[in-house]
Amino acid sequence: MAEVVKEVNALSPDEQRRLLEEEYAWLLERRRRRAEEEKRLPPLPAAERGKVVTRFAPNPDFVLHIGNARAAVLSYEYARMYEGRMILRFEDTDPRTKQPMPEAYELIREDLRWLGIRWDEEYVQSLRMEVFYDVARKLIERGGAYVDTEPPEKFREYRDSGNLARYPPRLRSPEENLELWDRMLEGHFGEGEAVLRVKTDPAHPDPSVRDWVACRIIDTSKTPHPIVGDRYIVWPTYNFAAAVDDHLMGVTHILRAREHAQNTVKQQFLYSHLGWRYPVVITFGRLKLEGMIMSKSALRRLAEERGVRLDDPRLATLRALRRRGIDPEAVRRLILDVGVKQTDASISYVNLASVNRSIVDGRARRVMAAIDPVPMLVEGLPWERKEFEVPYHPSVDLGSRRLEVPGPTATLYVSRSDARALRPGDVVRLMEAFNVEVVEVRGDRVVARFHSLSLEEARRRGAPIIQWVPASDAVPVEVHVPEGFELRVDRGLAEPAAAELKVGEVVQLVRYGFARVDAVLRGEDGRVEKLVMVYAHD
């Protein structure tokens, strides 16, 4: 075996490829087949082409993070796979404990568009209150719900002692309940004084399922809703609103995270009262980025109390990933790769980086920068002035730029980490340009002498190849590198062509890593004074 490996390794890549194609085509074929299979999501149960309706139903209390994106991407991909429709529905029926964030509606739309998700219909639940009231009334008429005017402790007492079937409010007639319901709507009750409960199995093994609350009173004069203000005081709970809307909107398949699994059970009671058919539910686990804060409330606290921006690159929000130079396609691929298992998935950033690299590599221009720059004085250059034309990418045609080096002496900059490794007598190649021999290394300064021009010469001597920056027109650059919850800032000088970079572009700083241009700061004369970048990955 080892010999065979040696033999194959001795061949050039072209020869290897040819051999593979000619003699072992079946191997390639098998590999191709597998690669195709892996991209696909498992089929959706009971799905008919053209009839699938999915929904993504976020609470607009914060922007989306990668965990939320899982539900969004899966809902969208399945709808697309079956040529169906996807609905975006804002679930903002709690103006008290989960106060919606007024900007979040639009920020979430932005996040979704960034992910490449297009929805066919959009609803805001706080604008559909009358719809919920109508269904509630119908439910009461059918004897499927009752108004409970007892204090919560009383209810719990009956529920937990197995006497729920004999709970007095539960025994009320639909007529009585309708009357109480109207009183609720009219404002006769204050917060906590009355709720509407759905009748379930009073002996259900899960106590939380027993006669769950469909509507409660929220005093919106104290906590107004950002969209409808204090117009309503009776508010549907999540379970009621979501269940009603899923039916009314014709949702056929619900893709929901595991924390909602119990809710399916609750909602089914409502459906059976109303004679509705419950959609197919697919439950999946949580998706988190290793070592990153994923809890919405914790993120929100950071934003509100510590003034952390919603797109701070240390966060796991979608806009933070975008700012780091992560392509939406990478997020999508990762989510599809993780699939719909019920187990939680904890993805490492390295993994996301790898997917992103494969997307971004072919279109990221290569730019040289000296991080923590150290001047290198080069003497004995056999020219007055010389230009090197350097392509922006080693194998893809992304254009090129010129680098100018004066003579017979010139000052350049190299990275400190490279300078530190230099010893007098070493020959080193300045990438894409020429070779120098180190004369002396003294503290913050390297003196070198022109050695030769050709790459072959550098190869022959096993000279290291390092990136460099001409001293004139070098562009100061600052790279923000998230490290856990810290943010390291690397400072350096980039080659003059970096002044042409546009905000949002992802480039590869040669031998350093991929980074996204976050800001281009200009002086009064329009010259670029500084480039701020955010580090993506190596």
What part of residues 501-520 is at the interface with RNA (CB under 7 A)? 508, 510-511
**Any contact of residue 206 with RNA (CB under 7 A)?**
yes
- The verdict on 417 binding RNA (CB under 7 A) reads yes
- Of 29, 121, 259, 444, the residue at the interface with RNA (CB under 7 A) is 259
Q: Give min distance, CB of 42 to RNA, in A.
A: 6
Which residue among 223, 268, 346, 400 contacts RNA (CB under 7 A)?
346
Residues 13-32 binding RNA (CB under 7 A) are: 13, 16, 20
Q: Provide the minimum distance between the beta carbon of 262 and RNA in the complex, in angstroms, as a whole number.
A: 4
Burial category of 417 from C-beta neighbours within 10 Å (exposed 0-12, middle 13-18, buried 19 and up): middle
**CA count, 13 A, side-chain hemisphere, 333:** 16
Q: Which stretch binds RNA (CB under 7 A): 245-253, 387-395, 498-506, 521-529?
A: 387-395
251 near RNA, rule: CB under 7 A: no
Out of 50, 394, 425, 443, which residue is the one contacting RNA (CB under 7 A)?
Answer: 394
Quick one: tokens of 332?
């999508």
Which residue lies nearer to RNA by CB, 309 or 393?
A: 393
Q: Return the number of other C-beta atoms located less than 10 Å from residue 169's C-beta.
A: 20
Closest approach of Cβ 95 to RNA, in Å? 9
Residue (309 or 511) nearer to RNA, CB = 511
How far is 148 from 189, CA to CA, in rounded Å?
11
Q: How far is the CB of 442 from RNA (least distance, A)?
A: 21
Residues 65-124 that bind RNA (CB under 7 A): 91-94, 96-98
DSSP 426-438: -EEEETTS-EEEE
Out of 174, 202, 226, 339, the residue judged to bind RNA by CB under 7 A: 339
**269 lines the binding site for RNA (CB under 7 A):** no
Task: Please tell me the distance from the alpha carbon of residue 291 to that of residue 293, in angstroms, as a whole number.
Answer: 7
Nearer to RNA, 175 or 206 (CB): 206
- The candidate with the shortest Cα–Cα distance to 166, out of 202, 197, 194, 204, is 202
Pair type for strands 445-452 and 373-379: parallel
Q: Least distance from C-beta 276 to RNA, angstroms?
A: 20
CB 370 within 8 A of CB 413: yes
The reply to whether 386 sits near RNA by the rule CB under 7 A is no
Q: Which two tokens stand for residue 353?
A: 């980086």
Q: Which of 103, 176, 191, 505 binds RNA (CB under 7 A)?
A: 191
Choose one: 132-140, 188-196, 316-324, 444-452; the region binding RNA (CB under 7 A): 188-196
101-106 LR contacts (CB < 8 Å, sep 24+): 101/60, 101/61, 101/62, 101/226, 101/300, 102/226, 102/227, 104/60, 104/61, 104/62, 104/63, 105/60
- Per-residue string for binding with RNA, 426-455, x by CB under 7 A? ---x-xxx---------------------x
Listed residue (464, 493, 535) closest to 373, CA to CA = 493
- Which of the stretches 165-173, 245-253, 336-344, 491-499 binds RNA when contact is defined by CB under 7 A? 336-344
- Residues ≥6 apart with Cβ < 8 Å to 191: 217, 218, 219
289 lines the binding site for RNA (CB under 7 A): no
User: Binding to RNA (CB under 7 A): which residues in 292-331?
Assistant: none
Say whether residue 337 binds RNA (CB under 7 A).
yes
Dihedral sign of CA atoms 126, 131, 134, 135 in order? negative
Residues between 467 and 496 that touch RNA (CB under 7 A): none
Q: Which of 121, 134, 290, 404 binds RNA (CB under 7 A)?
A: 290
Residue 334 burial (10 A CB sphere; 0-12, 13-18, 19+): buried
The smaller minimum CB distance to RNA, of residues 393 and 401, is found at 393
Q: Across the beta sheet with 427-430, what order do the strands follow? A: 465-466, 427-430, 435-442, 445-452, 373-379, 410-415, 469-470
Q: Segment contacting RNA (CB under 7 A): 130-138, 189-197, 399-407, 487-495? A: 189-197
Q: Which residues contact 34 (CB under 8 A, 6 or more apart)?
A: none
Stretch near RNA under the rule CB under 7 A, chosen from 52-60, 223-231, 318-326, 490-498 = 52-60
| 420 counts as binding RNA under rule CB under 7 A | no
Collect all residues with Cβ–Cβ distance below 8 Å to 474 and sequence separation of at least 6: 370, 373, 413, 493, 494, 495, 496
In the list 113, 138, 188, 341, the residue contacting RNA (rule: CB under 7 A) is 341
Q: List binders of RNA among 211-230 (CB under 7 A).
A: 212-213, 216-218
Q: Distance between CA 362 and CA 394 in Å, rounded?
A: 10
Radius of gyration of the chain (CA): 32
What is the CA 191 to chain-centroid distance, rounded?
Answer: 38
